Structure 1
């Protein structure tokens, strides 16, 4: 077995466009670069497998005071970006005021929305304003109406056109295509051919790359284990994702949706106040309604950022000798949900099987 690999010139799957070196420094220091805040559990889109359990109306949610306190703590901790999650953060009535407040603290806003609210040009204009320097992600699992309908409660396939219209609004306002993303949660119900068709459509028609998220049996997804894709189709669709997003060389972030610098410098506060390593890992290590956020971070930041894995020599074999490990360390959510070990092997990485067979 070869020596562990610590450096490589290529970097893939990063979301800190224009701030890559700063995020790498935070990674080396095992600090939080980004904080994901779930501001609501309300979302109109109705994804069957929603890991957050979102419904059309809000049942739980952080108060404005709680969120502003989080933003104050984030600024004190020198966190550079807020990733606004839900549900759909843009259905919350005070979303604009909260994002303006984050900007006033010198924090970048990144918005993960269904994309439906962006059809309203006034909302799109405000999102464009508050996400200066940040990115906007929309969510269309399939560009094929029949496939989209079977993946969402209510089967509202007309939502595709509405979200595309919203993206068109953002691009017309001047949002660069490389600061926008379409997010797909990949499931066996969709299949690789349709996922590939959808990724190609967004890139060729709108210039948007894809954040390809692996289906995990969390939240509503825990009842849909038939949605779990097989390794062969994971390889097919994620290899094509690499080709579309990053070019034709052999480097990969495998079955991760982003690179390790993102998930290794990030924590989440769910809409019930739990602090977790990832929005797809729903079990928290503390709750901001019980203990101040800064205290939770002071005690648990190493767990939240998977600190041990920041040294590639500590990655489990065969990942520790993989050529991709300067950017990839496997999806921590998949490792947690499928193997119950957030620092263990990612069972959805086909490269592990290939490596084992070679040895």
Structure 2
């Protein structure tokens, strides 16, 4: 994640203690738990290939509690409940509360359509640290991408319910050719609805998202999009609106923003570069990991084809620290394995090779160049 708002303002933000630590030491990774395959929507870009019904062999409540025990023992700071739609798990609130009691901060990634006022209160009272609600455009665009008429209004109502009860909530927006022209209107919505956090995700070619490769933005469109996010964030902050605005899943953004700052405000460039170096770039297999509904452990949520072990058989900590798997060993120290433009890039300390899942999905080789990098050869030092 790259916080545009922090680079612009220097403000303290909720994820600073996790985001700006290059060496994680004794702290475990943030864990994304795809807790169920079931979902009430049919999103075109769903990385989890969610279905209408729960997946085969989903973890039971007892197994999930044991899994959370293991995460706590391994000093995992955050458990992100994802899906499918995590609120469709009947034991969601029980497990979120259990995680909080064990010292693991529960957060939620949801489509938002099921968050009534009562559920918003329950999220707050359970101690959920953050609720990320997916909105991928205005009404018609969002509903088309989500495969459900009325999804936009239901998700917006879910956001409003969270805002009303004081539950920390944010908007999640995946950038594609379908929706990037509505980005300005999304910023208007963020301001009008009092939404204090927004994450703009680059497309990763996994799950149903693999069908949308041709709908990823071009290099020129990516640059124009980051320029717009930069301008609109600066405008919000200048007018006294304290917002957290982040881009996610493309570490070329960090280099692009640094070069913008270096050109426009050289005096600030060194401080910005220090901040970016502290993030360490892509952390798949290092500071973020994933577990699916069957208990399989993956380097991140976008690499379901690489299974490192199963938490029903071994503790998460044992699996995560086992580097007998060549991919896992490589991810933890990948620079010497990278190929193509990534191997020659002068910004590896900032980017760490960008997204290996996207490189593998596009080429079959996890160490190939990330095709979503939009920096020029001159910018990366070739």
TM-score (norm 1): 0.79
The correspondence for 2:172, drawn from 177, 183, 189, is 183
* Structure 2 counterpart of 1:218: 206
Unaligned stretches of 5+ in structure 2?
1-5, 238-245, 255-278
* Structure 2 counterpart of 1:230: 218
- Does 2:288 correspond to 1:266? yes
* Structure 2 counterpart of 1:7: none
Q: Structure 1 CA distance, aligned partners of 2:39 and 2:298?
A: 21
The correspondence for 1:275, drawn from 290, 297, 306, is 297
Post-superposition Cα deviations, 1:230-284, rounded to whole Å, max 9, x if no partner, equal 2222222233334445779xx9878349963765411100113221121122122
User: How far is the alpha carbon of 1:294 from its aligned partner?
Assistant: 3.0
Q: Structure 1 CA distance, aligned partners of 2:127 and 2:233?
A: 22
Unaligned stretches of 5+ in structure 1?
1-9
Q: Structure 1 CA distance, aligned partners of 2:202 and 2:103?
A: 32
Q: Structure 2 CA distance, aligned partners of 1:139 and 1:272?
A: 24
Q: Structure 2 CA distance, aligned partners of 1:19 and 1:150?
A: 32
Distance 1:213 1:19, change over 3 A: closer
SS of residue in 2 equivalent to 1:79: coil
The answer to which of 43-52 and 29-38 deviates more is 29-38
Q: Structure 1 CA distance, aligned partners of 2:354 and 2:68?
A: 29
* Structure 1 counterpart of 2:370: 346
* Structure 1 counterpart of 2:347: 321
Post-superposition Cα deviations, 1:106-126, rounded to whole Å, max 9, x if no partner, equal 1111111111121x1111111
Contact persistence 1:111–1:135 (CA under 8 A): yes
- Does 2:167 correspond to 1:171? no
The correspondence for 1:56, drawn from 52, 57, 68, is 52
The answer to which of 98-107 and 236-245 deviates more is 236-245
Q: Structure 2 CA distance, aligned partners of 1:255 and 1:245?
A: 18
The correspondence for 1:115, drawn from 98, 109, 112, is 112
Count of residues in Structure 1 that have an aligned counterpart in Structure 2: 332
Distance 1:254 1:96, change over 3 A: closer
Q: Structure 2 CA distance, aligned partners of 1:245 and 1:239?
A: 10
Contact persistence 1:253–1:327 (CA under 8 A): no
The correspondence for 1:100, drawn from 76, 93, 97, is 97
User: How far is the alpha carbon of 1:299 from its aligned partner?
Assistant: 0.3
Q: Structure 1 CA distance, aligned partners of 2:352 and 2:151?
A: 33
User: How far is the alpha carbon of 1:317 from its aligned partner?
Assistant: 4.4
